Structure formats: C-alpha cells, structure tokens
Structure 1
C-alpha cells in the first residue's frame, strides 16, 4: 500500500469501526470466551448466518434459541425438533426452519460425539492450522464454507492463530469502501483495531450500502 493512500485508508477504517464496530456474536448476546458454551453458541450463530437470510433475522433466531435454553449441545439435543422449529419461528427464521432444526440437532450430536461438547478439542486437533480448523467445522451438519468462514472470522480474537481473517464477504466490504483487498494492506490499515470487530464491520458494509455512504462521510469529516 503506498504512503499516499495510507492516511485515507486509516481514516476509512477508523470511521468504519466507529460506525458499525460490533461483532455478530455481540449482537446475538454471546459473551464470547474460550469456554465450551459460548463457543458452541457461536457455532449455532454461524450456521444461522450462513443461510440466504437477513443477518438481523439470523441473530434474532439465535437469541430465541438461547432464550429457550439451547445454549449447549446437550440442551440442543435434548430439545425436541418442534421446540427448535418454534424457537426459530420466534426469530422469524421461517424459510429454512424445518431443515435448520434438523441440522441443529444433528450438529449438536456430532459436537458431543466428536469433541465431547467442547470445540476447544477441535482447535487442538487443528494444531494452529486454520485450514484444518475450517475443515473440521465443515464436518458439522449445516456448516459449509460460509459457516466455517463466519466462525473463524468471529473467533479470531480468542484464537489468534486464525488471524487475520475477514473472509470473502469482508473482502467485498473492503472493496466497496475503497480499502486494500490484500491481507497485508488490510492489516496495515486496521492496525490497532480488534480483528473480529473490524472483520464484522467490513461484512456489514458489504451488506448495507447505506453504511458505506455513512462511513465515507465520517472519513471525510474526521
């Protein structure tokens, strides 16, 4: 990244984080820590966000599931399929509710059987290799490439071996904002900002052109 562009890119990043610097885990009410329950909640959120549905609906559905006690793989498995469907419906996650309710049950069982309910065991298996981690995540029913991308993007502040990661959607946001799209260029522009927060803000910019306009205005007036 050339010296003449750096100040502009930095102002844009600062404006972006000021405008919409919140992870999706935070929005869903997850107090993300390196412990089994919040990591599982993030896995559920990643599954919901990966569907072709508005992010706000996915977040609302996650909150509804957690509100009904489905915060651990054991509680998810013990809930009936209908209880999962009903909770998704409360969050207006209706287009994919029946299929997703099945995937949530099957995925929770796999997490219990494979990692004894603790995704830190998956992290240990990956042994610092982000690609292996994402491959492991994709073993979970309902978690495809997009879901694995989301999980890694949101967990990177806890698991630094995954940094930096903005994912495909984050790169779209960077392009919309006129930011560098190379990993090195983005990392330099975002230096000092939390990686997960910055990546989520890029995704929000990719999904909402009004955010792009507001960020541009903020950057001009900083």
Structure 2
C-alpha cells in the first residue's frame, strides 16, 4: 500500500469508480439551484429519513416523480391516495400512509413559508449549515439525520455548505482508512466530485460488502 496522501487518493479514485453516485442522481433528480430540483431533493430526504432501506426510498421517490409530483403544488394537488399508490409502487409500504400525509403537509409548508422555493430558505439562513438544519427539521418527517442528508447532497449546488460530511460519511471513511473530517476528504477530490464522494462513503457505511469490494481492489 502506498503511504499517506497518495494511498488516500487511490482509495478515493476506486471508491468513486465503484460507488460514485449521489442518492439524488439515482432517484432521477437533476440537482440544480432551482425550485423544482431542490424540492425533489426534499421529497427524497423525507423518504430516506424513515427506517427503510435507501434502495426502497430511492425507488419510491422515482415513482412519485414519475407520477408528476415534482413540485410542492403538484404534491399538494395530488390526493392522499395518489401519493400512497405511488409510494406502494416503489415498495415503500411500511410507512406509506404516514409518509403520504407528511409529504402533503411538507408541500404546504414549502408553499406557505418559502413560496415553493427552497432558495429562500437558503437565503434566510445565509447559507449557514446550522441555520439550514434548524429550518429543515421544521418539515414533517425530517429530523437532524434527514437535515444532514439534505446538506450532504445539496452541497453540489450550494457551495457555501461545502464541505459537508455527516456521521454516515465519517463511518464510511473510517472503514476505508480515509480522513475523518469533511475538509480533509474534500482535499482528496475536486469540488464537482465532492457530493458523489460523500454519497459513496455513505454507501460503504451502509453495505460492508461494498467496502470489502473496494479494499479488495486496492489490495489487488
């Protein structure tokens, strides 16, 4: 194994090759600093915040978006049953009734307080991670963990949030013997690959087989 920074950069390269995709991208969200994609990320985070697999949450998000529920107005205009049905098609059945209600309530909050545009939330918090977390947890179903997921993904388009790493990122970094701070991890890649790197580390933390595959590649 090559010592120091060279070893870490090689690990990051293999990690990105094997697992380098964001959860937003996997759910079909083309993340941008625009109202629609930011709201879609909020929906995905609501689903990821439940005690359910990330794979199921992503599948359910794709079904909601395929049904046309890509804006807070569309989500609110949909019936409760329409949302339940879309969640069911994504196999998000354990929490579908509760989540349908939360999505409707969250859409109303987004419209009433932020006029459907989460850039207003960002501006009110002046891009401060703590201020953003405080506002994000006001949405139904989103707690501190969910707020962290949102910030981890949104740093791709809100650069003042970056570098951001939540506890799952750090868990993955430790499994791969990478630095355990956001700043040190950011130094190992380019800004455009920072969000994919953080998501890749989460995937490693959630799936030990993914970590083992990367370690095997590094040892080959």
| TM-score normalised to structure 1 length | 0.95
Match of 2:186 in 1: 187
2:125/2:132 contact within 8 Å kept: yes
Name whichever of 182-191 and 42-51 sits farther off. Answer: 182-191
Match of 1:108 in 2: 107
Match of 1:5 in 2: 4
1:88, distance to aligned residue in structure 2 (A): 0.5
1:210, distance to aligned residue in structure 2 (A): 1.1
Match of 2:31 in 1: 32
Q: Say whether residues 1:206 and 2:205 are aligned partners.
A: yes
Within 5 A, what are the aligned runs for 1:51-66? 51-66=50-65
1:157, distance to aligned residue in structure 2 (A): 1.4
Gap change, CA 1:132 and 1:211, over 3 Å in 2: same
Match of 1:92 in 2: 91
In 1, the alpha carbon distance for the partners of 2:192 and 2:90 equals: 31
In 1, the alpha carbon distance for the partners of 2:154 and 2:38 equals: 8
Paired residues in the alignment total 219
1:193, distance to aligned residue in structure 2 (A): 5.8
Within 5 A, what are the aligned runs for 1:58-77? 58-77=57-76
2:60/2:88 contact within 8 Å kept: yes
- Give SS of 2:69's match: coil
Q: Which runs of 5+ in 1 are unaligned?
A: none
Name whichever of 98-107 and 7-16 sits farther off. Answer: 7-16
- Give SS of 2:160's match: helix
Q: Deviations over 1:99-127 (max 9, x none)?
A: 10110000000000000000000011011
